[in-house]
Amino acid sequence: MSVRTKKTVAATRREAVAYHEAGHAVVAHMLGYQVFRVSIVPKSDSTAHISWRHPINRSTGFSPWEFGIGAKWLELLKQIAPSVTRVGVLRDAAITAGIGMWGAIQSVSPSFGVELRPIDVRDAGEIERALAAFAGSPNGGLILTGSALAVVHRDLIIALAARHRLPAVYYERHFAAAGGLISYGSDSVEQFRLAAGYADRILKGEKPGDLPVQAPTKYELVVNLKTAKALGLDVPPTLLARADEVIE
């Protein structure tokens, strides 16, 4: 593996990218690809990439989210915390998903009457400073978009949201289970089930490139009532009725 950098990369970013790229390499090996190289290069649209000698159409998979989910996150935040007029969007600006999610949320924000502020999740110190500054003005809320660094800093982000009394919507149920206020995202168990079906078809001879990359088909809404109570929020009964899981 060759590594080329144009700037210093935080240790947490290197760790997250290393695990991410190692996963790609393992999948490539299992599908019979010859890995040519794994390069970690800071870019405007991604943090790293993997290149194979074989054409890219030999790959397939499942996307963990769609950009349109950003409107749902804003809707949920306004439902559970109607006073919110300022929303900090935590994202990894170095990956395509971070850029795309920010753009999708930005495009629908006027209809919800909120002002957006991007907050990068590069390292712990930066997150702490950014959230402390954001919380200095009233009526703030947070949306955490998906990335490897969001997972690395999960506990920190949840703790800071509680410390600064910021209602937050998370992209995955594990955050709500760990103390976050509310989450809405794809059902990972369902995606694993569908992925097992793909694996079976590939092992029986179908070509990965003939199987379309699939978007999520099932989403789950999780509400943490304990956290809502700590923030002084009354969760609307209609929202609780729609929840797939309520943590008390």
Domain boundaries, the chain: 2-58, 69-186+218-247
3-state secondary structure of 131: helix
Q: Please give the CATH topology (third level) of the domain spanning 69-186+218-247.
A: Rossmann fold (3.40.50)
Q: 37: which strand partners?
A: 51
Query: How many angstroms separate the CA atoms of 158 and 176, rounded?
Result: 9
**DSSP-derived pairing of the beta strands 245-247 and 219-224:** parallel
Query: How many angstroms separate the CA atoms of 239 and 221, rounded?
Result: 9
pLDDT digits (tens, 9 = 90+) for 188-236: 666 666 667 767 777 788 777 777 776 667 789 999 999 999 999 999 9
Closest by alpha carbon to 36, among 56, 17, 12? 56
Q: Which two tokens stand for residue 62?
A: 């499942």
Q: Which two tokens stand for residue 114?
A: 């909120």
The residue among 54 and 246 whose pLDDT is bigger is 246
Rg, C-alpha atoms of the chain: 19
**Within 10 A of 134 (CB to CB), how many other CB atoms are there?**
20
Contacts of 22 (CB under 8 A, 6+ apart): none
pLDDT digits (tens, 9 = 90+) for 108-134: 999 999 999 999 998 999 999 999 999
Quote the pTM value: 0.71
